[in-house]
Copies of this chain bind each other. A is one copy, B any other.
């Protein structure tokens, strides 16, 4: 077990707690900065993770009116911890489009997939417990796991996702040390931040490696529906319903601001999630749940998703073109076939974390690669760039500004060497 951050049971200080070590910490100030940036109109932010909600915003009033006329006061009262049955039923149909066979009674509705991560950590993790992730990985997962003082480590990955042989070896090494991972957390499709997709060939291998070692898999799948080219790859949960907890969200399909996510858990543990959910906030908003369910069953989802894919593909292409045009030679980025993010790696000796301040001066924002590693040290050459939210013009101008700052950094470094 890790020490409890200096907490002494008999030495009372109500303000000394598990967050004390982070009160002036990096994660916090990075998030603060990011949101502060969004308030400054002169800065073009490629740092966020928002979708383009203008694609669906004109649907909302109609969905609200339908919801209130169909469900009346039920939509405005308390609901049940596992979520409204009508929404859960609609979610089974949404998942079926990806080949996932799940039943409504296996689902627990959460406030975005983020709450699923929190509940997972709460249920499974004592301080010091081992959790494995891809590296880089989703920053929100790191935040949730860290808040329960888990020991998060990354497993080896390449451009096709987790490397099965290396995963098996890693798990065996851990086991030889007398430890076992509580779970392996994966974003297998269009991973945030790297854009990487775990290849179809590797998926069954990863499943059987984890099963043979009793390691639970958490499949976080927010982006798969936002594929704009290439062949769909089946979710892990479509290959097996054993040993997997699946996390879904409507943030990319409908709207992040509705905060509607869900998890699918094996029946033996699903009840624990309901208990944890009830302790956490009694229930997700029946109002937003039913508005979301009304949208899902409205018939508009296919055309809106089609529009989303078309718009994001244009923006990704514009971002890739701008990267070629404005960033220093030696910059690399893989074109993601879907999702919201481009992961760019700049030539040495650029330090993206140090460069953020200059970038803000120069009028553009991004997230440094360091935010996506548990140690907050790796990823210094990389940056995550969002192409789903900014307009084509903002992508062009934002990338131009970032490219200029990167060139300046390189010139400055060269002048020091010279």
A389–B132 Cα distance when bound, in Å, is 47
User: Contact check: which of B31, B56, B112, B140 meets A76 at CB < 8 Å?
Assistant: B56
- Chain B residue nearest in CB terms to A251: B78
Take A9-B126, A17-B124, A257-B287 as given contacts and tell me if A57 and B76 are in contact as well, using a CB distance cutoff of 8 Å.
Answer: yes
User: Contact check: which of B23, B122, B147 meets A271 at CB < 8 Å?
Assistant: B23
Q: Counting chain B CB atoms within 10 Å of each CB, which of A50, A115, A275, A284 scores highest?
A: A275
Take A257-B78, A285-B257, A285-B288 as given contacts and tell me if A280 and B31 are in contact as well, using a CB distance cutoff of 8 Å.
Answer: no
From 104 to 155 in chain A, residues with beta carbon under 8 angstroms from any chain B beta carbon are: 110-112, 114-115, 118, 122-124, 126, 128-129, 140, 143-144, 146-147
Chain B nearest CB from A220 CB (Å) reads: 14
Binds B, one of A58-66, A190-198, A306-314: A58-66
Q: Counting chain B CB atoms within 10 Å of each CB, which of A28, A61, A112, A280 scores highest?
A: A280
Binds B, one of A177-185, A228-236, A345-353, A394-402: A177-185
A249–B126 Cα distance when bound, in Å, is 31
- A288: chain B residues at CB < 8 Å are 285, 287-288
The reply to whether A9 and B19 contact each other, CB–CB distance below 8 Å, is: no
In the complex, A216 has a CB within 8 A of chain B: yes
User: Contact check: which of B35, B272, B286 meets A257 at CB < 8 Å?
Assistant: B286
Give the number of times this chain occurs in the complex, counting copies: 2
- A20: chain B residues at CB < 8 Å are 272
The reply to whether B180 and A12 contact each other, CB–CB distance below 8 Å, is: yes
Chain B nearest CB from A286 CB (Å) reads: 4
- A118: chain B residues at CB < 8 Å are 279-281
In the complex, A94 has a CB within 8 A of chain B: no
- Chain B residue nearest in CB terms to A18: B123
Chain B nearest CB from A1 CB (Å) reads: 7
User: Contact check: which of B53, B128, B182 meets A14 at CB < 8 Å?
Assistant: B182
From 64 to 109 in chain A, residues with beta carbon under 8 angstroms from any chain B beta carbon are: 64-65, 68, 72-73, 75-81
- A115: chain B residues at CB < 8 Å are 280-281
- Chain B residue nearest in CB terms to A10: B178
Q: Counting chain B CB atoms within 10 Å of each CB, which of A4, A68, A255 scores highest?
A: A255
The reply to whether A214 and B12 contact each other, CB–CB distance below 8 Å, is: yes
Take A48-B78, A115-B280, A285-B257 as given contacts and tell me if A272 and B57 are in contact as well, using a CB distance cutoff of 8 Å.
Answer: no
In the complex, A355 has a CB within 8 A of chain B: no
In the complex, A268 has a CB within 8 A of chain B: yes
User: Contact check: which of B17, B64, B79 meets A64 at CB < 8 Å?
Assistant: B64
- A7: chain B residues at CB < 8 Å are 126
Q: Residue-by-residue, is A274-306 near B (CB-CB < 8 Å gives 1, otherwise 0)?
A: 011011111111111000000000000000000
Q: Counting chain B CB atoms within 10 Å of each CB, which of A51, A53, A65, A179 scores highest?
A: A53
From 311 to 354 in chain A, residues with beta carbon under 8 angstroms from any chain B beta carbon are: none
The reply to whether B60 and A76 contact each other, CB–CB distance below 8 Å, is: yes
In the complex, A49 has a CB within 8 A of chain B: yes
Q: Residue-by-residue, is A361-392 near B (CB-CB < 8 Å gives 1, otherwise 0)?
A: 00000000000000000000000000001000
A272–B28 Cα distance when bound, in Å, is 10
The reply to whether A287 and B258 contact each other, CB–CB distance below 8 Å, is: yes
The reply to whether A19 and B76 contact each other, CB–CB distance below 8 Å, is: no
Chain B nearest CB from A412 CB (Å) reads: 34
In the complex, A202 has a CB within 8 A of chain B: no
User: Contact check: which of B9, B51, B147, B214 meets A77 at CB < 8 Å?
Assistant: B51
The reply to whether B214 and A275 contact each other, CB–CB distance below 8 Å, is: no
CB-defined A-B contacts under 8 Å, sample of 25: A7-B126, A9-B126, A14-B269, A19-B123, A19-B275, A20-B272, A23-B271, A50-B77, A52-B73, A57-B73, A76-B256, A76-B257, A77-B389, A79-B257, A112-B282, A115-B280, A118-B279, A143-B278, A144-B280, A147-B279, A255-B287, A257-B285, A258-B285, A259-B283, A287-B288
